[in-house]
């Protein structure tokens, strides 16, 4: 437990010192909030989705976020081009398969990105992640119908099938590479009531992956950090509106020492 805590603190300190550039090809709903989340925690965000510049932008980035929340065919093309450049440069790619399983277009697009690029981490809710496997799964919009606990039964196999790290978020988060499985117990009940918290968790994961080449621990420590910030925000928030603002403040004010003390990562 202490090793995970120390690693989380170390990763946060590295982000604060190096301010990695995180290239986001993300959805219109969350662009502003996601950028503020990255700025608040100490990273440097860029939102660039034009097909004729994504390869150049990826070359500067410490991580690439691909988020299919407001998908179009042209965005898929940009994501593939950026992802292939990131793969060539060995830059970590974090995929957020928003709503995968809800429509054939979303599911097929997410699977195409996985097929054509080397995705380092997939961060989503249980339904979204399970939809990416060879067995069919359905989702209800972008909300989860599967519990993380149920997903744990197949997550290890799916991580091996997809050859990537899976980060499945819920009341208790789960991160696995197919052999090791971590549970992260940080978080707050108000987090699902603010749009963009899941997408922001993906962006935070990208920032941690930019400083930690062990993407399994990068994902686990990122979710612990973001969840703990949620706990800190929830102490003073009156509801979703104030929680959204207080979460940015918590991401900004949290020290590595506070993260080391407060993160709750355990290995199954």
Contact 91, 117 (CB under 8 A): no
**Domain boundaries of the chain, sorted by first residue:** 2-267
pLDDT the model gives residue 140: 42
Segment-wise mean pLDDT, segments of 10 residues, the chain, 268 residues? 87 98 97 98 98 98 97 97 98 97 95 98 93 62 54 83 95 94 96 95 98 98 98 97 98 98 95
Predicted TM-score (pTM) of this structure: 0.94
pLDDT the model gives residue 154: 83
Architecture of domain 2-267: 3-Layer(aba) Sandwich (3.40)
C-alpha span between 165 and 2 (Å, rounded): 22
pLDDT the model gives residue 134: 77
pLDDT the model gives residue 261: 98
The pLDDT tens digits of the residues spanning 202-261 come to: 999 999 999 999 999 999 999 999 999 999 999 999 999 999 999 999 999 999 999 999
């Amino acid at each position: 437990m202490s090793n995970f805590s120390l690693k989380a603190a170390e990763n946060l300190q590295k982000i604060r010192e190096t301010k990695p550039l995180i290239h986001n090809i993300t959805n219109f709903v969350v662009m502003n909030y996601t950028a503020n989340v990255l700025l608040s925690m100490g990273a440097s965000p860029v939102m660039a989705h034009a097909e004729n510049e994504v390869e150049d932008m990826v070359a500067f980035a410490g991580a690439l976020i691909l988020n299919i929340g407001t998908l179009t065919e042209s965005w898929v093309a940009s994501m593939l081009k950026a992802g292939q450049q990131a793969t060539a440069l060995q830059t970590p790619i974090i995929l957020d398969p928003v709503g995968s399983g809800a429509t054939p277009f979303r599911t097929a697009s997410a699977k195409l990105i996985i097929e054509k690029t080397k995705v380092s981490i997939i961060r989503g809710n249980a339904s979204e992640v399970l939809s990416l496997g060879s067995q069919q799964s359905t989702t209800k919009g972008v909300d989860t119908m599967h519990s993380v606990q149920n997903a744990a039964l197949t997550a290890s196999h799916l991580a091996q099938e997809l050859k990537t790290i899976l980060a499945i978020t819920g009341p208790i988060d789960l991160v696995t590479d197919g052999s090791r499985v971590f549970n992260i117990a940080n978080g707050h009940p108000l987090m699902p009531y603010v749009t963009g918290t899941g997408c922001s968790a993906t962006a935070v994961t990208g920032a941690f992956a930019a400083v930690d080449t062990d993407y399994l621990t990068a994902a686990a420590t990122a979710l612990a950090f973001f969840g703990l910030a949620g706990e800190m925000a929830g102490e003073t928030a009156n509801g979703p509106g104030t929680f959204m603002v207080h979460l940015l403040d918590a991401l900004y004010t949290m020290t590595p020492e506070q993260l080391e003390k407060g993160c709750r990562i355990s290995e199954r």
